[in-house]
């Protein structure tokens, strides 16, 4: 059969390959003939991968040593790992969900990808609204920082650092969607494509955390709009595998929403979606709470 996707023998890196969408993606890539380097802090147990590399994405040194074990030329990068922020503070959440991806693109992939390579992230519909000024002014200082330490410093010196970990989740997803726009422009001259899948609610290792955050699985189903069903991890793996494949060779800068219509229902005001917010609103709520406690 013709290799339409073009993954045969290609070196691909998948973060978050131990569970959920990352695992489903790595499995699909093995089936498509890719050499899969699987990065995660939990052990990856997938038959046929080239190598599992234990990596903590909240640590720059751990990322550096992981990439030393991967061949110099990387054909596709899948940035899928993430935490919800339920068990991590704001800064740690942002390091895992945003700063690690930024560092990998700007300091590693930029020198290790040749023509026709591709980058794709699993961001989120929680990052819809990334273009609003009330969000941009908070995340731009972080995404414009030119080093790992600079990005960390931008958070540490702002009131954002006091927000709960789960606010770091939406903050990171908004910023990651912006970075797709920035990177597609930066990498275009190298003929490297950059895209993202924005999943709706999906049944994975994070489902319990998201259920807890919004008051139970029934509310989580509300976010799926009229579909009223969570996606399977494989239903997010397939679109991201497509975006990084040769089948999508003229697709770059695409934020592919995969949510069974839930976002477009809200945009068209066919059904209300409770998730539209800006960081201005969150900061005002936080300042109000501090005032009330004093
Ligand atoms: N599940 C959903 O409803 C949903 C919705 C939108 C977006 N997402 C995003 O999808 C991506 C995949 O998550 P998932 O839902 O499959 O969850 P998951 O928990 O099943 O998978 C996440 C993986 O990331 C790994 N990971 C977390 N922190 C790490 C670290 N510091 N270093 C290395 N690996 C680390 C975990 O070990 C795990 O294997 C995440 O970026 C998440 O934000 C999920």
Q: What is the pLDDT of residues 215-244, one digit of tens each?
A: 888 888 887 888 889 999 999 999 999 999
Inside any domain, residue 1: no
Instruction: Answer whether residue 4 is part of any domain.
Output: no
Looking at residue 274, its pLDDT comes to 55
Domain count for the chain? 1
CA-nearest of 20, 26, 21, 100 to 67 is 100
Q: Which ligand 1 atom minimizes the distance to the CA of 203?
A: 1
Q: Which residues pair with 13 in a beta bridge?
A: 37, 77
Ligand 1 binding pocket includes 120 (Cβ within 6 Å): no
Within a domain: 6 = no
Residue 38 CA to residue 98 CA, distance in Å, equals: 19
Q: Which domain holds residue 46?
A: 11-293
Instruction: List the CATH number of the domain containing 253.
Output: 3.40.50.720
Residue 222 counted as domain residue: yes
In a domain, 5, yes or no: no
The answer to whether residue 87 sits within a structural domain is yes
- Tokens 């490297």 belong to 192
Of the candidates 32, 47, 39, 48, the residue with the CA atom closest to the CA atom of residue 17: 39
Coil vs helix vs strand at 28: helix
Mutate to test the pocket of ligand 1, among 14, 15, 16, 79 (most ligand atoms within 8 A of CB): 16
pLDDT class of 279 with cuts at 50, 70, 90: confident
Structure pTM? Answer: 0.96
Q: Assess if residue 260 is contained within a domain.
A: yes
Does the beta carbon of 204 sit less than 6 angstroms from any atom of ligand 1?
Answer: yes
In tens, the pLDDT along 117-131 reads 999 999 999 999 999
Q: What is the tens place of the pLDDT at every residue in 54-103?
A: 999 999 999 999 999 999 999 999 999 999 999 999 999 999 999 999 99
Ligand 1 centre to CA of 87 (Å) is 13
């Amino acid at each position: 059969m013709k290799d339409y996707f073009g993954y045969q023998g290609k070196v691909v890196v998948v973060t978050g390959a131990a569970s959920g969408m990352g695992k489903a993606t790595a499995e699909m890539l093995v089936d498509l003939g890719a050499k899969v380097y699987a990065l995660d802090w939990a052990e990856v147990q997938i038959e046929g991968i080239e190598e599992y590399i234990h990596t903590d994405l909240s640590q720059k040194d751990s990322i550096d040593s992981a990439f030393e074990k991967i061949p110099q030329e990387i054909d596709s990068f899948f940035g899928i790992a993430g935490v919800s922020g339920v068990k991590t503070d704001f800064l740690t959440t942002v390091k895992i969900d945003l700063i690690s991806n930024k560092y990998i693109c700007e300091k590693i992939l930029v020198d290790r990808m040749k023509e026709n390579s591709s980058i794709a992230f699993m961001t989120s519909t929680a990052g819809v609204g990334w273009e609003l000024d009330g969000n941009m002014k908070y995340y731009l200082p972080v995404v414009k920082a030119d080093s790992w330490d600079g990005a960390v410093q931008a958070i540490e010196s702002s009131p954002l650092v006091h927000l709960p970990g789960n606010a770091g989740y939406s903050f990171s997803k908004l910023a990651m969607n912006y970075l797709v726009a920035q990177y597609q422009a930066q990498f275009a001259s190298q003929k490297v494509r950059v895209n993202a899948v924005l999943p709706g609610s999906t049944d994975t290792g994070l489902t319990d955390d998201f259920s807890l955050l919004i008051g139970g699985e029934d509310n989580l189903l509300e976010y799926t709009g009229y579909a009223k069903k969570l996606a399977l991890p494989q239903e997010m793996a397939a679109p991201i595998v497509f975006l990084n494949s040769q089948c999508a060779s003229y697709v770059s800068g695409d934020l592919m929403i995969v949510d069974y219509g839930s976002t477009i229902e809200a945009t068209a005001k066919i059904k209300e979606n409770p998730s539209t917010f800006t960081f201005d609103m969150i900061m005002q709520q936080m300042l109000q709470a501090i005032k009330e406690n004093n």
